[in-house]
Structure 1
């Protein structure tokens, strides 16, 4: 059986919602498929999952993903959220004591703001930021989906339920 047939068969299992899968199995299936399917297709499946009634709200998914990510992944996630929310979005983060400026930490001005903020922000603050960002610019869902699709290890941080829905949607799209 060819790799394309393997991917199709695996995706069909998600489309048919057959069986309960462990989170580790779903994450591994996502990684395997992400390495064999064009990033744009993965992004479209993720966009549909992030906007699905079968998954938690976008802001909750992003907050949980931020909590699971490493420093590099967290900074990458903040960039599209801050861009979508606009410059006004950083003010509450600073005022709430969630940024390097508020904590008195030594700042490295050569680092982008999202890299500086990533290690100081709590997932709840990122969840609020994601909520605000999607209200201001709903297209942030697609930009975040592209980010997750381009980095399957980051995509894993979305969790089993969201990835299961995304893989099911990907099967429908294909």
Structure 2
């Protein structure tokens, strides 16, 4: 029996076409995230980030950033910056502060420095990065798949979209 088979009853609820009670999605996401491989969860998160049923990618990343610890914040900010480059970051509102933290483009944001970056700035950078490098969604999804507790803060509607994608993948397997 595969790991996903252990949560197949939960996933069936998301593959039936009718979305289960969003209030249960947090618990379901937790169960599935414990059983499913990280790459499967990342696919679900990519679908969530791209869905027209959820807020925009930048908004979701800004929200996740708010609840992140310093290490998680630094990792995400550095991924976003590497996706668009420090020069582009400097042109965005609030990006000048990040550029000065980078020391003119050399190095990376530390966890301590990341604590001083606002979620609004991250939201802007993420929105710009999505346009400049659509693969940033997959990179962010792979990162956040490693942090299911953080993802659960997005709420039932967003989690339902991610779980529907995981259920779709299980059906196809």
Once residues 160 and 33 of structure 2 are traced to their aligned partners in structure 1, the CA distance between those partners, rounded to angstroms, is 13
Q: 132, 139, 157: which one pairs with 1:143?
A: 139
Q: Following the alignment from structure 2 to structure 1, what is the Cα–Cα distance between the partners of residues 147 and 110?
A: 18
Distance 1:2 1:173 in 2: 13
Deviation at 1:117, TM superposition (A): 3.6
* Equivalence for 1:72: 71
| Number of equivalent positions | 165
Cα deviations across residues 85-130 of structure 1 (Å, max 9, x unaligned)? 212144257966745958xxxx9xxx94152442111111110000
Tell me the C-alpha RMSD between the 2 structures.
2.8
| Residue in 1 that maps onto 2:125 | 129
Map 1:14-33 to 2 at 5 A.
14-16=14-16, 17-22=18-23, 25-33=24-32
Could you give the per-residue CA deviations for residues 132-166 of structure 1, whole angstroms, max 9, x where no partner exists? Answer: 11111100000000001122223324333221100
Aligned residues of 2:83 and 2:133 also touching (Cα < 8 A) = yes
Following TM superposition, by how much is the alpha carbon of 1:36 offset from its aligned partner in structure 2, in angstroms? 0.9
- Where do 5+ consecutive residues of structure 1 fail to align? none
Structure 2 distance, partners of 1:134, 1:2, is 34
Could you tell me whether the CA contact under 8 Å between 2:90 and 2:96 is conserved in 1? no
Give TM-score, length-normalised by structure 2: 0.80
Note closer, same or farther for the CA distance 1:71–1:20 as it changes in structure 2 (3 Å cut): same
Unaligned 5+ residue runs, structure 2? Answer: none
CA distance in 2, matches of 1:74, 1:112: 12
